[in-house]
Amino acid sequence: MRSPHPSRGAPEQPPPATDLAGRGRKGSVGRFARLLLGLLRELSDENAYHRHLAAHGAEPSAAEWRRFSEERLRAKYTRAKCC
């Protein structure tokens, strides 16, 4: 029979399953939060701005943001729309 006390020579047991279930929920919330933040960054053009900086080898600045914004707006409004 096993001793209920770990100090008496019994091997240490893994945490109960309830602890693992709690960690799973926290992990799901964290994944959802990262997904939501990624979506918001994409919708706000933050990701596009970082790609622009990487493509042009530029550092973030007000002038570079202006250049990025003007390029995006120029491209958006020069495309012909069908209907």
**Does residue 56 belong to any structural domain of this protein?**
yes
- Quote the mean pLDDT of the chain: 79
**Does residue 80 belong to any structural domain of this protein?**
yes
**Does residue 70 belong to any structural domain of this protein?**
yes
**Does residue 63 belong to any structural domain of this protein?**
yes
**Does residue 75 belong to any structural domain of this protein?**
yes
**Does residue 22 belong to any structural domain of this protein?**
no
Q: What was the pLDDT predicted at 31?
A: 92
| Residue 75 structural domain | 45-83
Between CA 41 and CA 45 the distance in angstroms is 6
Q: What was the pLDDT predicted at 6?
A: 55
The Cβ-side half-sphere exposure at 40, using a 13 Å CA radius, reads 6
Kindly give the interhelix angle for 62-78 and 46-56, rounded to the nearest 10 degrees: 110
The parts of the chain modelled with pLDDT lower than 70 are 1-11, 13-24, 83
Q: What was the pLDDT predicted at 10?
A: 58
Please enumerate in sequence order all residues whose Cβ is within 8 A of that of 8, keeping only pairs 6 or more positions apart, or say none. none
Number of domains composing the chain:
1
